[in-house]
Chain A
Amino acid sequence: MGATLQPVEVFADLDRLLEAVRPDTVVVVDAGLANRRPDVVREREALAWIAVPGEGGAPCEQPIVSHLLEHGWSHVIAHPMPVLAEELLATVQKILRADPFSLEKYVAWGAEVRRYRLEDAEERDAAVTALAKDVIAAGSADRVGGLASVIADELLANALFTAPIDEHGARIRQSEPRDRPRRLQGRDVVTLRWATDARYLAIEVRDQWGSIDPVAVARRLARVSQEAATTADGGMGLPLAYACANQFIIGLAPGRLTEMVALIDLRFRPTELSRVASFHVFSGENPPGVGS
């Protein structure tokens, strides 16, 4: 937090912390403490509440992350140091600067960003193939290529078939066959972007509907390991993408744009990170266009 040059106060217990919280405060809480009192996020308005691995520096385990997501936490960082420092800094800067969109926040300056703008819903496979080719060409392991393909496929399917709504909020494309051509024009245009800096592979999908309910998504992700959430006919796509990622970030401009960014950490083996991905939701009023 010191890297933001903002004043930092440290408290040993939640009650003393609450007394100090103001509407413009970014609150960072040990996930273990947050887990014991998850509704603390509703006790005092703040700019953001962020849960981070605390006790002993161990990663956040799935039950804690799920518990916090169920209780409406918008920012849960699951990974220990050094990922924690990078992720916390990016999160806090996005919040303080009110600049919540785009994958460039997560890769080093100068990393080349590739883009695929879908002109037809049928191009989903072509976009995923283009991404997978790039990932392998960049020297990533087959494992990473597989994860990236699943993430891109599911995020694109969500943007193409779940995001579109009518004037009553009904999801008008949800039941459509997914292997048929459909020209994408106006609000239907969807983009896939990706970049890597040898630390992360970042994958971003944008749609122009801004129709997602991040609280509902968080709850669905929280229940990913529970049978009830995974035997229903739909709704498995985002939990699957989340399960393949190390960080999962939703940017939302209601009615205008939904941006989903998934990060795969290329430096560490799976067992050196948390079993579960970090989760963030950001809201913003001035989103970029899908093509930018």
Chain B
Amino acid sequence: MSSNTLQLGRLSVTTSSNRLELSGRLDDAAPLSSLATSELAREVVIDTGGISFVNSIGIREWMRLLRTLREAGIRVTLESVADVLITQMNMIPEARGDATISSFHALYVCEACGGEATPKIEVAPHRDALANLQAPSVPCGECGGKMDLADYPERYLTVFRP
């Protein structure tokens, strides 16, 4: 399947008919709703794992994109949702819309060595725990110890509540 890469300000977007991969800064210079073209399939995966910065204009553009896709009848799955975006989704319901989240990044800290990281958490294996605002532990990449969510669960997991 062919893909194209385009630049929206400082946001890099790789597109194919059923997948969008976003990386960089989601801000004033990224008119995201232009991505909702008629060439998209009826089910689209959006990977935002490479997004490093989101400001209020960027989150507004993101909500417009989700709204436009929904109105076009396109089902959206969000994959590798960036740490900076998942926290916004928990604060602003429309930033998630009715998209399905399959995985996300979250701030974790190692109890043993104090290291911080933003590992990717798969939703399917932990669906029940996430719905109860319980984040799974993950192994520390530095020392092998146990890493736990470093923030209040509500900031990351409210979107998974039934």
CB within 8 Å of B: which residues of A?
Answer: 141-143, 146, 149-150, 153-154, 157, 177-179, 224-225, 227, 230-231, 233, 236-237, 240, 243, 269-271, 275
Contact = CB atoms under 8 A, between A and B. Distances in A.
A32 B26 CA distance: 39
B64 to A, nearest CB: 10
Contacts of A143: 107, 116
A269 B60 contact: no
Contacts of A224: 91
6 contacts: A141-B116, A227-B92, A240-B56, A269-B109, A270-B151, A275-B154
A225 B91 contact: yes
Nearest to A244: B87
B1 to A, nearest CB: 33
Contacts of A243: 91
Nearest to B92: A230
Contact of B56 (A149, A237, A271): A237
B113 interface: no
Contacts of B52: 146
Interface in B48-99: 52-57, 59-60, 63, 84, 88, 91-94
Contacts of A270: 150-152, 155
User: Secondary structure of the A side of the interface?
Assistant: helix
A271 B60 CA distance: 28
Contacts of A150: 53-55, 84
Nearest to B60: A236
A149 B58 CA distance: 14
A132 to B, nearest CB: 9
B28 interface: yes
Contacts of B63: 231
A127 to B, nearest CB: 14
B9 interface: yes
A266 to B, nearest CB: 13
A236 B59 contact: yes
B29 interface: yes
Given A224-B91, A236-B60, A240-B59, A142 B28 contact: no
A178 B92 contact: no
A120 B6 CA distance: 28
B155 to A, nearest CB: 8
Identify which of A146, A177, A230 gathers the most chain B CB atoms within 10 Å of its CB.
A230
B152 A271 contact: yes
Contact of A233 (B60, B107, B155): B60
Given A146-B53, A240-B56, A270-B150, A231 B116 contact: no
A227 B109 contact: no
A175 to B, nearest CB: 12
B135 to A, nearest CB: 12
Given A142-B116, A275-B155, 17 more contacts: A146-B84, A150-B53, A154-B56, A157-B55, A157-B57, A178-B28, A179-B9, A179-B28, A179-B29, A231-B94, A236-B59, A240-B56, A240-B59, A240-B88, A270-B151, A270-B152, A270-B155
A42 B61 CA distance: 41
Contacts of B116: 141-143
Given A141-B116, A143-B116, A269 B150 contact: yes
A176 to B, nearest CB: 11
Nearest to B149: A271
A131 to B, nearest CB: 13
Interface in B126-162: 150-152, 154-155
A143 B155 CA distance: 14
A179 B28 CA distance: 7
Q: Which of A141, A157, A179, A236 has the most CB of B within 10 A?
A: A236
A143 B91 CA distance: 18
Nearest to A178: B28
